[in-house]
Amino acid sequence: MSLHALVNNPLQGTLISPFLSDLSWCSRSSVVPLPSSLKPWGLAQDSQAFLAGSVQVLGPISNSEGDLLFLLDSSASVSHYEFSRVKDFVWDLLQPFTFGPRDVQTSIIHISTTPTMEFPFDQYLTSSTLKKAIGATQQLMGDTNTGKALSYAKEKLFSREAGARPDVPKVLVWVTDGFSSDDISEPTRLLKDMGVTVFIVSTGRGNFMELSAAASQPSEKHLHFVDVDDLPIISQELRDGILDVIRANRLHATDVTSSSFRLMWPKLLSQESGYYTLEYTPVADVGRKRTQQVSGAVTSLVLSDLEPETTYEVALIPESNVHYFPPQTTRVTTLAGDDPWLLPEPNAMKLKLTSHSYLFAILPEEISPVQVLISESGPRSFHVSWAPLLDSVLSYRVLYGPLPGNAVTELQVDGSHNSTVVEQLAPNTTYLVTVTAIYKSGKEKSLSAKACTQEGERGSTLRCPQRVACA
């Protein structure tokens, strides 16, 4: 299903994110016109180019060393069809790499009720065995406890016991439908503090601001929104981003903001064998050079209190009492001082969709809903809640129906309430739920989520559909 069709479908047009859900509305009422050089929905054109076979086939990639972890949403919020497409995407992304103890190693964690490791980093070290392992990976279903899975990755997986190597770059690729039952902000911050580079691929309705904060910076390089059937479009761009990390055997910078960046370098020293002298200087003002001493056991450091839009010359000088190591240098330019997503034009935002940028107006007032939560799921009912609750909303319309299928039931909820219970449902069935806010001004804003009822009585033969049909 193309992004254009998804956004313009009245029931399913809000699955991608709170921002994407209003693309068709924004394009009609925007105070910032789209440039004539940008054709709307270029993403669909790129998809046609891919299907036509115009994507370059890569040869083997060598001279790369890193531990690459995939965090896959294996919960009941993802259909079996979507999960199979994600597995194809993972192999497509990995296929050109060379695998081995001195090359790339990879592992998979399932996001479910309890995080589960599919295989450790050092189990499959050839392309043929890895391809079979990915193909044999089975969806676990359960809840979408992403925060738990991220914490599990930090505490267990990036360790020697899981086959990870201590002195190589580490990359996490999180593929999500955009929904999480628990907090992700703290575990992603801790992972990034460990020096892990976080890429996020959202195929669903994810909260843009939350995912943007969770990804490594700049987010426009590390965060992708794409329909599950168009995942191959971003393979090359995402692979190039990963290569930028794992091919960096020298001093380099990540997580660049307007006032800080993180420096990373290979392990050259130990705490016993020496230390590093770190020097960083604004290129335009060499008299403001700053120097600090860093332990020989450290391979990552955040420099803060920097000037925006300033290029810094950085030198890392190993001071060893055992061997001579030449200094390593790099240049890093901080971002602009304002929010990098905001433009000088009032009420305008730049939104990156895969490889294209678009301009849209933003409503000056708050909007609702920006979040829909499914909870207390039983065989015949579940609880639906949404936020925020605004005085400008007259009422809410809740539409729900089984997937696949065209049957839709409607509930009306007063604007002073932000939840309802949906009842008389079929057990073990996937439903699409759409909450629409009807404003006093006459405008409407919708957001959708998927829910799965619990199994019914023992011996029930009903099953959740294997594919969510988005027609």
List of domains in the chain: 44-246 (3.40.50.410), 257-333 (2.60.40.10), 365-471 (2.60.40.10)
pLDDT surpassing 60 at residue 11: no
**Displacement of CA 266 from its chain's centroid (Å):** 26
% of the chain exceeding 90 in pLDDT:
37
Strand order from edge to edge, sheet including 290-295: 290-295, 274-282, 311-320, 328-333
| pLDDT score for 30 | 30
Question: β-pairing, 382-387 with 371-375?
Answer: antiparallel
pLDDT surpassing 70 at residue 34: no
CA atoms within 13 A on the CB side of 20: 31
pLDDT surpassing 60 at residue 338: no
> E strands within 203-289?
223-225, 252-254, 261-264, 274-282
CB 279 within 8 A of CB 288: no
Tally of CB atoms within 10 A around 206: 26
pLDDT digits 0-9 by tens, 134-168: 999 999 988 889 999 999 998 877 788 888 887 78
Q: Which amino acid is at 353?
A: L
| pLDDT score for 58 | 55
Is residue 248 very low, low, confident or very high in pLDDT (cuts 50, 70, 90)?
low
Question: β-pairing, 66-73 with 104-111?
Answer: parallel
Q: Which amino acid is at 464?
A: C
pLDDT digits 0-9 by tens, 64-82: 788 999 999 998 888 899 9
DSSP state of 142: S
What would the DSSP string read from start to end of 428-446? T-EEEEEEEEEETTS-EEE
Is residue 244 very low, low, confident or very high in pLDDT (cuts 50, 70, 90)?
confident
| pLDDT score for 56 | 44
pLDDT surpassing 90 at residue 290: yes
> E strands within 124-260?
170-176, 196-202, 223-225, 252-254
CA atoms within 13 A on the CB side of 166: 8
pLDDT surpassing 60 at residue 323: yes
Question: β-pairing, 409-414 with 393-402?
Answer: antiparallel
pLDDT surpassing 50 at residue 364: no
Backbone conformation region of residue 446, classed left if phi is above 0, alpha if psi is from -120 to 50, else beta: beta
Is residue 377 very low, low, confident or very high in pLDDT (cuts 50, 70, 90)?
confident
Name the residue among 272, 232, 230, 186 with its Cα closest to residue 89: 232
pLDDT surpassing 70 at residue 341: no
What six digits make up the tokens of 263? 């420096």
Is residue 249 very low, low, confident or very high in pLDDT (cuts 50, 70, 90)?
low
| pLDDT score for 59 | 59
Size of the chain in residues: 471
Q: Which comes out higher in pLDDT, residue 338 or 163?
A: 163
Q: Which amino acid is at 251?
A: L
